[in-house]
Each structure stands twice: as structure tokens, then as C-alpha cells.
Amino acid sequence: MTKTKLIKNKQKNKVYTTIAVVGEGLTEHLYFNGLRGYEKSNFENMKVSFKPDKPPAKGRKCTEILQEAKCLIIDYDFVFCILDNDTIINCDKNLINYEESLNELKSFCRDYGLETGDKINIYIFLENLTSIDMINKNQKAIFILKNMPCLEFWYFLHFNGSALYHDKCSNVVNLLKDKKYLPGYSKSSKYYKKNIYSTLKSKLPDAITNAKSINEQRITDPDRDLSYSDLYILFHFLGIS
């Protein structure tokens, strides 16, 4: 078996698919930590790791996430990179750095495939992924999933399907508070002690439906500025709805 073939960890005669989910900052860490605890029973045939293991002292750059994905894909079957798009497009330098890092990741996957005869796919919505049916679950893959502007828009979609464009995360945070969707919400460990994932869980089907609908709009009108979240792709992959 070559390095890029799917790694199946066998324990007690069970076969596990290995998945790494990599986020940028504190909110991603706390949200996915809540998910891991709440959905533990859904991971019977999967080994799911959420990175980083500990809350980061500060938000990490998207370039760091893509670099980490390059290392993780060697040991995992699938790697999901969760990125806030507002920090990518907020200045030319950040956008250039992101595009350069993404091109390096693509080159790494291509070269690795040439060396081993196997392939590591990279999936990016609109660029080469417009339907979940296009995902090949029999090959290693890295998924670049974006929230525009930030993770909080995914929270917003649990309550509202509006794709009104927001270029700053603070705008969405204010919406969550002002609309009483998440009263008193803040990007802090203190707020997240109530486990925001379990708070939102009952409305998860609405968030998935709303996110899918917005991405369908992005397909038909790719030049239109919209807020969006690709996170429903991760939930589909994990079998959570």
C-alpha cells in the first residue's frame, strides 16, 4: 500500500476512515469541540480529529491552515480546511498569499500522485465542486471550505436563509445579537461554555438547507457577491443532519 491510499485503522475488527478538520481560531475550536462531544455516537466508523488540539492563542492565517493540510493528508484519509473568507479578501496581500499557498498545495498533491501513482484530490466549491455527488470517497482528499465572511454566518443560517453580502464578521455578529438569534453572543470562551453546537443543533437541518440554496445561487450567478457557508459539505461527509 502506498502512502496516499486510504488509511484504514483497524481496531477490534473494525475499519475506520480517518478525518481531520482544521480551523483557524478560537470559535472554530470551541464549535467543533462541542460537535465532537454531541455527535460522538455518529463517529463509530470514523476517527475524526479537530485541529488544533488546544484553543489557539490567536487566529491562524489561512496560509498556515493550508500548510498544515499538506502534512495531515499523509496520515489522514480526508482533511477539511475551514477558512474565513473575509480575512482572505480584505487586502490584496492576503489574497495573493492565499492563492500562492493554494497553488503550492495543489502542486504538492499533483507531485505526490506522480511519485506514487495515487492521487490526492483537492475540492473547492465552484472551482471543481458543484455537487456533493462529485466527491470521490475512495481517494484521499483535501477540502477547502469557506465561510463568507466567517463562521458566524454558518450560525446565522440556522435561523435565516438570507444571502445578503457581509464583508465583515462584525456585521454578522451584530445580526446574531440584534435579531435575538443568539442573545449576548460573543467570540469568547465564556460565551461558548454553554456549548453553542448543542444550542444550534435543532436548527441544523435549516442551516444545511439554507447553505445549499445559497451555493446553488453561486453556481447560477458566480459574479454576484453573496455571503455563504460551505460547511454543509462537511456535515454531509460526517453523516450528520
CB count in 10 Å sphere of residue 111: 11
Which of 45-59, 99-113, 144-158 reaches the highest mean pLDDT? 144-158
* Measured distance CA(92)–CA(71) in Å, rounded: 27
Q: Which pLDDT tens digit goes with each residue over 24-64?
A: 989 999 999 999 999 988 888 899 999 988 877 778 899 99
pLDDT at 119: 86
2 located within any domain: no
H or E stretch at 174: helix 169-178
Q: Which pLDDT tens digit goes with each residue over 159-169?
A: 999 999 999 99
Average pLDDT, the chain: 90
126 located within any domain: yes
Instruction: Look at residues 148, 143, 151, 63 and name the one whose alpha carbon lies nearest to residue 99.
Output: 63
Query: What value does the mean pLDDT take over residues 222-233?
Result: 96
pLDDT at 1: 42
CA torsion through residues 37, 39, 43, 49, sign:
negative
Per-residue DSSP letter, 134: G
User: What amino acid occupies position 162?
Assistant: S
H or E stretch at 229: strand 228-229
Query: What value does the mean pLDDT take over residues 60-79?
Result: 94
Q: Supply the DSSP string of 22-49, one letter for each residue.
A: E-SSHHHHHHHHHHHHHTGGGGTTEEEE
Q: What is the span of the domain harbouring residue 145?
A: 8-238
Query: What value does the mean pLDDT take over residues 218-227?
Result: 96
Domain count, the chain: 1
1 located within any domain: no
Q: Which pLDDT tens digit goes with each residue over 119-143?
A: 899 999 999 999 999 999 999 999 9
